[in-house]
Chains A and B, each alone.
Chain A
Amino acid sequence: MFQVVGADDLAVLIGPARNGTLLEVGLLDPDSDDPIVIHADKARDKFLP
Protein backbone atom coordinates (compact mmCIF):
# COMPACT_ATOMS: atom_id res chain seq x y z
CA MET A 1 0.00 0.00 0.00
CA PHE A 2 1.23 3.46 -0.86
CA GLN A 3 -0.18 6.78 0.10
CA VAL A 4 0.35 10.45 -0.37
CA VAL A 5 -1.20 13.06 1.87
CA GLY A 6 -1.69 16.63 0.84
CA ALA A 7 -3.74 19.74 1.39
CA ASP A 8 -4.19 18.61 5.02
CA ASP A 9 -7.60 17.09 4.52
CA LEU A 10 -7.02 14.96 1.41
CA ALA A 11 -5.09 11.77 0.73
CA VAL A 12 -4.69 9.35 -2.16
CA LEU A 13 -3.96 5.69 -1.51
CA ILE A 14 -2.65 3.19 -4.05
CA GLY A 15 -3.12 -0.48 -3.28
CA PRO A 16 -4.39 -3.77 -4.66
CA ALA A 17 -8.04 -4.81 -4.74
CA ARG A 18 -8.81 -8.40 -3.77
CA ASN A 19 -8.41 -9.47 -7.39
CA GLY A 20 -5.00 -7.80 -7.59
CA THR A 21 -6.10 -4.77 -9.60
CA LEU A 22 -4.29 -1.68 -8.40
CA LEU A 23 -6.71 0.99 -7.27
CA GLU A 24 -6.41 4.64 -6.37
CA VAL A 25 -8.66 5.78 -3.56
CA GLY A 26 -9.20 9.39 -2.56
CA LEU A 27 -10.01 10.21 1.06
CA LEU A 28 -11.37 13.30 2.72
CA ASP A 29 -10.15 13.78 6.32
CA PRO A 30 -7.76 10.79 6.21
CA ASP A 31 -6.49 11.34 9.75
CA SER A 32 -9.90 11.61 11.36
CA ASP A 33 -11.86 8.78 12.91
CA ASP A 34 -14.30 8.88 10.03
CA PRO A 35 -12.49 9.42 6.74
CA ILE A 36 -14.75 9.66 3.70
CA VAL A 37 -13.98 7.91 0.42
CA ILE A 38 -14.58 10.50 -2.29
CA HIS A 39 -12.85 8.75 -5.18
CA ALA A 40 -12.08 5.16 -6.19
CA ASP A 41 -10.89 3.96 -9.58
CA LYS A 42 -8.21 1.89 -11.28
CA ALA A 43 -4.83 3.43 -10.55
CA ARG A 44 -3.56 5.72 -13.27
CA ASP A 45 -0.54 4.40 -15.16
CA LYS A 46 1.54 7.36 -14.00
CA PHE A 47 1.11 6.27 -10.37
CA LEU A 48 2.57 2.83 -10.97
CA PRO A 49 6.24 2.48 -10.01
Chain B
Amino acid sequence: MPRTPTQHSPQDISEAIERLDAWADTLTAEDFEATGDLVAVARAADAVEAAKAALEAAVVNARARDRSWNQIAMSLGVSRQAARQRFGESGRADNVARAEKTRGGRTVGARSTKTQAVTRSYKKLDDEGVRAGRPKGTTRGSARAKSS
Protein backbone atom coordinates (compact mmCIF):
# COMPACT_ATOMS: atom_id res chain seq x y z
CA MET B 1 0.00 0.00 0.00
CA PRO B 2 1.57 3.32 -1.03
CA ARG B 3 2.50 5.58 1.81
CA THR B 4 1.49 9.21 1.91
CA PRO B 5 4.50 11.47 1.31
CA THR B 6 5.73 13.00 4.54
CA GLN B 7 5.40 16.75 4.64
CA HIS B 8 8.15 18.74 6.33
CA SER B 9 8.20 22.44 6.97
CA PRO B 10 11.44 24.36 6.36
CA GLN B 11 11.72 24.62 10.15
CA ASP B 12 11.46 20.80 10.49
CA ILE B 13 14.24 20.37 7.95
CA SER B 14 16.48 22.97 9.61
CA GLU B 15 15.99 21.20 12.91
CA ALA B 16 16.79 17.83 11.29
CA ILE B 17 20.00 19.25 9.80
CA GLU B 18 21.10 20.41 13.26
CA ARG B 19 20.29 16.99 14.75
CA LEU B 20 22.17 15.26 11.93
CA ASP B 21 25.24 17.46 12.42
CA ALA B 22 25.31 16.76 16.14
CA TRP B 23 24.75 13.03 15.64
CA ALA B 24 27.31 12.67 12.84
CA ASP B 25 29.96 14.20 15.10
CA THR B 26 29.54 11.23 17.45
CA LEU B 27 29.80 8.56 14.72
CA THR B 28 32.91 6.54 13.85
CA ALA B 29 33.74 4.18 10.98
CA GLU B 30 32.71 1.21 13.14
CA ASP B 31 29.13 2.48 13.30
CA PHE B 32 28.62 2.00 9.55
CA GLU B 33 27.15 -1.17 8.13
CA ALA B 34 28.03 -2.47 4.66
CA THR B 35 25.03 -2.40 2.32
CA GLY B 36 26.58 -3.84 -0.82
CA ASP B 37 23.94 -6.58 -0.87
CA LEU B 38 21.16 -4.00 -1.04
CA VAL B 39 23.00 -2.04 -3.72
CA ALA B 40 23.21 -5.26 -5.74
CA VAL B 41 19.43 -5.71 -5.43
CA ALA B 42 18.82 -2.16 -6.64
CA ARG B 43 21.21 -2.57 -9.59
CA ALA B 44 19.58 -5.86 -10.59
CA ALA B 45 16.13 -4.21 -10.44
CA ASP B 46 17.38 -1.40 -12.69
CA ALA B 47 18.77 -3.97 -15.13
CA VAL B 48 15.42 -5.77 -15.25
CA GLU B 49 13.60 -2.53 -16.10
CA ALA B 50 16.14 -1.70 -18.81
CA ALA B 51 15.81 -5.18 -20.30
CA LYS B 52 12.00 -4.88 -20.36
CA ALA B 53 12.24 -1.59 -22.23
CA ALA B 54 14.74 -3.06 -24.70
CA LEU B 55 12.47 -6.04 -25.33
CA GLU B 56 9.46 -3.84 -26.01
CA ALA B 57 11.51 -1.68 -28.38
CA ALA B 58 12.72 -4.80 -30.19
CA VAL B 59 9.14 -6.03 -30.66
CA VAL B 60 8.07 -2.63 -31.97
CA ASN B 61 10.97 -2.70 -34.40
CA ALA B 62 10.08 -6.21 -35.56
CA ARG B 63 6.46 -5.21 -36.13
CA ALA B 64 7.63 -2.16 -38.06
CA ARG B 65 9.48 -4.60 -40.31
CA ASP B 66 6.27 -6.51 -40.92
CA ARG B 67 7.25 -9.47 -38.77
CA SER B 68 4.23 -11.58 -37.85
CA TRP B 69 3.16 -12.27 -34.30
CA ASN B 70 4.00 -15.93 -35.01
CA GLN B 71 7.61 -15.04 -35.82
CA ILE B 72 7.91 -12.78 -32.79
CA ALA B 73 6.36 -15.42 -30.55
CA MET B 74 8.91 -17.98 -31.75
CA SER B 75 11.75 -15.59 -30.92
CA LEU B 76 10.26 -14.99 -27.49
CA GLY B 77 9.71 -18.68 -26.88
CA VAL B 78 6.04 -18.16 -26.11
CA SER B 79 2.77 -18.79 -27.91
CA ARG B 80 1.44 -16.35 -30.52
CA GLN B 81 -1.44 -15.53 -28.20
CA ALA B 82 0.90 -14.84 -25.29
CA ALA B 83 3.04 -12.56 -27.45
CA ARG B 84 0.04 -10.59 -28.64
CA GLN B 85 -1.40 -10.34 -25.15
CA ARG B 86 1.88 -9.05 -23.77
CA PHE B 87 2.89 -6.66 -26.51
CA GLY B 88 0.01 -6.21 -28.87
CA GLU B 89 -3.22 -6.33 -26.93
CA SER B 90 -3.23 -2.63 -26.19
CA GLY B 91 -2.18 -1.97 -29.76
CA ARG B 92 0.84 -0.03 -28.54
CA ALA B 93 3.45 -2.11 -30.36
CA ASP B 94 1.57 -1.96 -33.63
CA ASN B 95 0.70 1.73 -33.26
CA VAL B 96 4.30 2.70 -32.61
CA ALA B 97 5.43 0.41 -35.42
CA ARG B 98 3.05 2.11 -37.85
CA ALA B 99 4.34 5.52 -36.85
CA GLU B 100 7.96 4.35 -37.20
CA LYS B 101 7.30 2.92 -40.65
CA THR B 102 5.77 6.09 -41.97
CA ARG B 103 8.13 8.58 -40.33
CA GLY B 104 9.40 10.97 -42.95
CA GLY B 105 6.72 9.93 -45.40
CA ARG B 106 8.51 6.68 -46.27
CA THR B 107 6.71 3.39 -45.99
CA VAL B 108 8.13 -0.12 -45.72
CA GLY B 109 6.47 -3.03 -47.46
CA ALA B 110 3.30 -3.22 -49.54
CA ARG B 111 0.05 -2.28 -47.84
CA SER B 112 -3.56 -1.82 -48.80
CA THR B 113 -5.05 1.61 -49.40
CA LYS B 114 -7.03 1.25 -46.18
CA THR B 115 -3.87 0.42 -44.20
CA GLN B 116 -2.07 3.37 -45.73
CA ALA B 117 -4.96 5.65 -44.78
CA VAL B 118 -4.85 4.41 -41.21
CA THR B 119 -1.09 4.85 -41.18
CA ARG B 120 -1.41 8.43 -42.38
CA SER B 121 -3.88 9.08 -39.55
CA TYR B 122 -1.43 7.73 -37.00
CA LYS B 123 1.37 9.81 -38.48
CA LYS B 124 -0.79 12.94 -38.42
CA LEU B 125 -1.74 12.31 -34.80
CA ASP B 126 1.87 11.59 -33.95
CA ASP B 127 3.06 14.76 -35.67
CA GLU B 128 0.50 16.76 -33.72
CA GLY B 129 1.57 15.15 -30.48
CA VAL B 130 -1.94 13.93 -29.76
CA ARG B 131 -1.14 10.29 -29.08
CA ALA B 132 1.85 11.20 -26.96
CA GLY B 133 -0.23 13.69 -25.00
CA ARG B 134 2.11 16.56 -25.68
CA PRO B 135 1.33 20.06 -26.90
CA LYS B 136 1.59 20.73 -30.61
CA GLY B 137 4.97 22.07 -31.57
CA THR B 138 6.86 20.31 -28.77
CA THR B 139 9.04 17.26 -28.93
CA ARG B 140 8.64 14.35 -26.53
CA GLY B 141 11.69 15.55 -24.64
CA SER B 142 10.60 19.16 -24.32
CA ALA B 143 7.09 18.17 -23.25
CA ARG B 144 8.56 15.93 -20.57
CA ALA B 145 10.88 18.68 -19.40
CA LYS B 146 8.01 21.15 -19.15
CA SER B 147 5.80 18.74 -17.25
CA SER B 148 8.44 17.89 -14.66
Contact = CB atoms under 8 A, between A and B. Distances in A.
Contacts of A47: 27-29, 32
Contacts of A34: 5-6
A14 B32 CA distance: 8
A49 B28 CA distance: 9
Interface centre among B2, B8, B21, B24 (most CB of A within 10 A): B24
B19 interface: yes
14 contacts: A1-B34, A2-B32, A4-B31, A7-B23, A10-B16, A12-B32, A33-B3, A34-B5, A38-B17, A39-B17, A39-B24, A44-B24, A47-B32, A48-B29
The contact size tier of chain A is 20 to 34
Contacts of A44: 24
Interface string B8-31: 100001001101110110011101
Contacts of B23: 6-7, 10, 12
Interface residues of B, number: 24
Nearest to B5: A34
B145 interface: no
A45 to B, nearest CB: 9
B5 A4 contact: no
Contacts of A14: 32
A20 B20 CA distance: 24
Contact of B8 (A2, A10, A28): A28
A19 interface: no
Contacts of B19: 7, 10
A12 B28 CA distance: 11
Nearest to A10: B20
B29 A28 contact: no
B49 interface: no
Given A2-B34, A7-B19, A39-B17, A46 B8 contact: no
